[in-house]
Chains A and B, each alone.
Chain A
Amino acid sequence: MITEGLAWLIIALPIAAMLVNGVLVRAFVGSNSKYAGYITVAAIGGSFVLSLMTLATVMSDGPLHVDTHDWITIGGLNLTFGLMVDQLTSIMLVVVSGVSLLVQIYGQAYMHGDKSYTRYFTYMALFTASMLGLVLSGNLIQIFVFWELVGVSSYLLIGFWMDRPTAAAAAKKAFLMTRFGDFGFLLGILYLYSQNSSYMDISTLYHEIEAGHIAVGVATWVSLGLLAGAIGKSAQFPLHNWLPDAMEGPTSVSALIHSATMVTAGVFLVARFFPLFEHSDAMTLVALVGGFTAVFAATMGLVANDIKRVLAYSTVSQLGYMMLALGVGAYAPAIFHLFTHAFFKAALFLGAGSVHHASGTFNMNYMGGLKKHMPRTYWGMVIASLSLAGLFPFSGFWSKDEILGHAAHVGTTTGNIVLALGLIAALMTAFYMFRAVFLTFHGEWKGGGEQEIEDAEKAGEPLPVGSAHSHFGESPWLMVGPIMLLAVLAIGIGFFSNPLVDIGGIDKHAFAHYVTHNHEVFPTSEAAKHAGSSPELNVPIAVISTVLAIAGIGLAYLMYIKGSISPQAMGARFQPLYNLMFRKYYFDEMYENVVVRKGFYKYVADALRWFDEHWIDNANVHLSNWVSRIGKSGALVQNGQTQTYAVGMVVGVVAVVAAFLLWG
């Protein structure tokens, strides 16, 4: 059904939309043209249809065989490009193009009236194309190419309202911090390439690993490099703190960044090179980074007041979940969680945008009581929150439980540590999500954007980002529709895509079987089983995690609805801890003030600059003066006056030419 040409079209359609919007529409129609939105939606809709066709093809016929093409062929350097269309790709394609399509539809209303509406849809098309290109890439260099393009499009989108200094700063921060990870990624690529240039091709790499041609040491170093890239892109500790700031972009952008694109790229990278990671000694590190981040990010989510930041921390935490799953070898559960998470997280972000539409603020302290004004958004967000909290029988429950069950099953120390971390994170997740829901939709209305602006003016503080006038009421259908659709997926997609038993037409463990049914990645059924092809429901774990989730929700209920526990009193009682979490463990301060300003600027850059100006430049000047002195004494024409020298040169040339003409 799908051919190579059609697979290329998945990338080409949004790229075409970008070019048409960015050049033609912008130049000849206008910077606020509704056609830009239509074009992007149509293109991504086309990609979505093709992605579904790809999924169907791979489901029935297995991975598509695609040839590679030469990109640069010179001497000893042969770089190719080509596609990889396997199970993992097909799942990612559907998730990326599907969520992106809904976000684009939502954006038609959310961005309505923005003076740079055309630019928004230009960037969105580029963003989607880059991510689709990333998941389709058949070789490592090409992955890096699209990886960087994802980075740059997120830079442009986070800084979309670039006249806000905070947005400009957040965009730069996102790009720079991920670049640090990319440095490691690049070194990993270089090291692997130096072993054998044919390893750049992923299929070849799979075969070579299976054939045992790659030493564990090599695999470990390369995996560490790739992991560094993944840590940057997926905002894992210690490169996590760009993501909450990335909220400066339009909310619909956040929805896409946090659900399907950008941050999942890191997890995808580890999944794509899963055989290499499994072959290496880096797996424990992957698991521990993921497990630690899952809890670490969740603690910051407990106390954040900005609804988008709460969601951002939850994204970091959930990505940690996926990482820890990959780290303990739970390949299928990790992909499954990526899959379910994309839908409920997109619903939550789109919901947050809808809430902002009504309340004029993102600060939950100024919301409250919105439930009766926007019931559809409310229910959409509640369902998505239940799913995120991992309550039976919502999607999140199934995927989260598989991860925890797998961690318990491996039985190693690492497995037990990350299991404990995962359970703690589950409790926190339930708490902070329902804290957010209760603060936003329940209780009394606390004034919204107007109140926030008034307070800020009173306190003489800068105006909070995104403050606007509130106007009660449900958001338009273009916004609510995608939220409701995603909520439906948040309810059912978990169970129905990967059921515990055969249900009419859908096999037992269909999803897990499908993603592990790849002989290149999992050559034996034993390997596939080990990677979670047929997960068992671990009942004790399921019960414990459900209890924890309910406890978290209950605690949030007691604190924010019943008021039987006062959040203020709790905050006061644990003041140092509260401050630590509220100030994000001072990581921003540490990186910006200590590492960059004090360390790098002062002791490295300024010192070098001083050295350059006072030593290198002086020495150079002295040296050249010295040369010119020699010139003065040595040659008549070269008396140090450049003008004379120039005249001498011209005269000389003229004389030579004249001589040539006369005697030639």
Chain B
Amino acid sequence: MGFRMFDGLLTITVFLPAAVALLVTLFARGENADQQIRWISIGATVVTFVLSVLVFVGYDQSVGGIQMIDHFERWIPIDALRSSYLLGVDGLSAPLVLLTGILGMAAALGSWRIKKRVREYFLWLLLLETAVFGVFVSLDLLLFFIFFEFELIPMFMLIAIWGSGRPRYSAMKFVLFTLAGGAFMLVAILAIYVTPDVNTLAMVSIPELGITGIPELMAGADLAAPAALIFGFFFIAFAVKLPLWPVHSWLPDAHTDAPTAVSVMLAGVLLKMAGYGLLRINLGFFQETQGFTIHDVAGAMSIVAAISVVYGGIITIRQTDMKRLIAYSSVSHMGFVMLGVAAVGSSAAETSAGGLNGAALQMFTHGTITGLAFLMVGLSYDRTHTRHIPHLGGLWKKMPLIAIFFLIAGFGSLGLPALSGFVAEIMVFLGTFSVWPWATGVAAFGVVLAAGYTLWMVQRVFFGERPASPGLSDEVYDNLTDANWVDMIPVIALAAPIFIVGIWPSVVTDMFDLGIQAVLR
């Protein structure tokens, strides 16, 4: 018991948003309380962003492994529980920590116009950020699970209270889906926990602490339940969250009804928790298990992935609500993550690394690109008060900056080279094609579909002319204003990594590769 290693940076990064949120909620008083809360909260996310950059930059690639460890044994003082407070980053999680820092800041900055119940809003938003950080840096399975589930509470509140449309229905649907998935995960965790050979909850091995992690212990061990079952239960939890066809239907509702900043967080980082889980747990734990390994189902994964990509893409084309459209496009894009993971079916580890790295990068790029898309829709919606595409048109003339950055997000989403989406997609395709040529070939059609729905939306909303009726009223249309500089800060924060990674991908891919290679062992 007690600290065995404490670097501190990760603990601070994780809990700073929550701590600030609680303090501000309790102590901000007076007439200007809302204003104080708003700016202090935003300030907290900016500081957290800086911390996440420090994590990313501070990770020493020449050393590799798990770094910045915070280890406190038996943080729940029940010996039998064997759970410890174990935080750390490796090449896989460090870029996702950075992503969370960027999106947390963008989401908070993008919320500066919120007027309703400001105090609670920022409390939940910051708690959400803490939860997501926690998922990415927890290396103890129980701790991971707690953060994974905790995120539901702020999400439920944010959608149900600040949402539009049918917020309660959507929030409930979101919670029930994730909860159902979480139940499966809990069972899977229990199965690992009760296996005598696996006497730890550490998700990775850390030699310098003398910790042998689950992946090594599970290799060849007699598990308390069939490996296929445990794998399946984890997989269900992550498939719901990713989301994968056919358990995706919570996503369009949640996105459509959530406030802008929450959509940004949801698409930007929450879905990535699932992709991260797939890589860390489904891939990390089940490579040498008895009776069943991840390689056995790689083919099935590639098929589900291809269905997700094409099915999601086709349905996206027929959407008329801007947010719903982007939400469905996420189903399509997250299919690429699955497809990249399916590359593990290759007999050569060399080959699978390409697809797996593509999957990891796709998570990062989708976070920034779709986050930006939701942010731009939000900015446009704030002004026009509608997201119904047939009612819109000719907005470029009135708000060129919003249009340009929406177009950048759109091009990122359809895989335009020089933007990061292309790099991730080509890596997934190149990595997976030699393993699953047919599934990859079918999924590659997703890029044509993406061009279809993206350009269609751009054409209807920003190009052309304002529809005669029943479009925007003259009063609304004439008074439309472009984004101001405050609006532009989060926009730039999200657009910059899209270009940087698009042109110079190795800034992230080298890091991911370290993590992937370690997971692949």
Binding site for B on A (CB under 8 A): 70-77, 79, 141, 144-146, 148-149, 152, 155, 159, 162-165, 167-169, 171-172, 175-176, 179-180, 182-183, 186-187, 190-191, 193-194, 197, 601, 604-606, 608-609, 612, 616-617, 619-621, 623-625, 627-628, 631, 642, 645-646, 649-650, 653, 656, 659-660, 663-664
Contact = CB atoms under 8 A, between A and B. Distances in A.
Given A141-B426, A175-B451, A179-B448, A605 B318 contact: yes
A168 B440 contact: no
Contact of A163 (B411, B463, B505): B463
Contact of A172 (B76, B179, B434, B459): B459
- Max chain B CB contacts within 10 Å: which of A72, A155, A649, A663? A72
A179 B444 CA distance: 11
B397 A74 contact: no
Interface of B: 1, 75-77, 146, 149-150, 152-153, 156-157, 171-173, 175-177, 179-180, 183, 245-250, 311, 314-315, 317-318, 348-354, 357, 394, 396-397, 411, 416-418, 422-423, 426-427, 429-431, 433-434, 437, 440-441, 444-445, 447-448, 451-452, 455-456, 458-459, 462-465, 505-506, 509-510, 512-513, 516-517
Nearest to B403: A162
A76 B315 contact: no
Contacts of B354: 74-77
B350 A75 contact: yes
A262 B245 CA distance: 38
Contact of B445 (A146, A162, A183, A650): A183
B455 A650 contact: no
A72 B447 contact: no
A165 B464 contact: yes
Contacts of B315: 605, 608-609, 612
Given A190-B433, A190-B441, 11 more contacts: A74-B516, A76-B350, A162-B462, A183-B444, A183-B445, A190-B444, A609-B315, A616-B248, A624-B177, A625-B176, A628-B180
Contacts of A619: 246
Contact of A73 (B171, B180, B445, B506): B506
B321 to A, nearest CB: 13
9 contacts: A75-B354, A145-B417, A165-B465, A176-B451, A182-B447, A193-B433, A623-B180, A624-B173, A646-B153
Nearest to B511: A74
Nearest to B502: A145
Given A163-B397, A163-B464, A601-B318, A76 B459 contact: no
Contacts of A144: 417
Contacts of A627: 176, 179-180, 183
A179 B318 contact: no
Grouping DSSP codes into helix (H, G, I), strand (E, B) and loop, the B interface class, with mixed when no group exceeds half, is helix
Contacts of A183: 444-445, 447-448
Contacts of B77: 659-660, 663-664
Contact of B459 (A169, A601, A621, A659): A169
B447 A179 contact: yes
For the complex of A and B, the 9 pairs showing the least CB-CB separation, nearest first, are: A75-B353, A168-B463, A76-B350, A77-B354, A145-B417, A194-B434, A74-B513, A162-B463, A624-B176
A72 B455 contact: no
Contacts of A141: 426
A642 B156 contact: yes
Contacts of B311: 608, 612
A645 B245 CA distance: 28
Nearest to B78: A659
A609 B314 CA distance: 8
B418 A168 contact: no
A193 B430 contact: yes
A162 B462 CA distance: 8
Contacts of A176: 448, 451-452, 455
Nearest to A664: B77
B505 A72 contact: yes
A628 B180 CA distance: 8
A168 B393 CA distance: 11
A617 B417 contact: no
B513 A75 contact: yes
Contacts of A148: 416-417, 422
Contact of B431 (A77, A609, A625, A649): A77
A642 B318 contact: no
B505 A71 contact: yes
Contacts of B247: 620
Contacts of A623: 180
A74 B441 contact: no
Contacts of A621: 173, 249
Contacts of B426: 141
A75 B439 CA distance: 22
Nearest to B168: A642
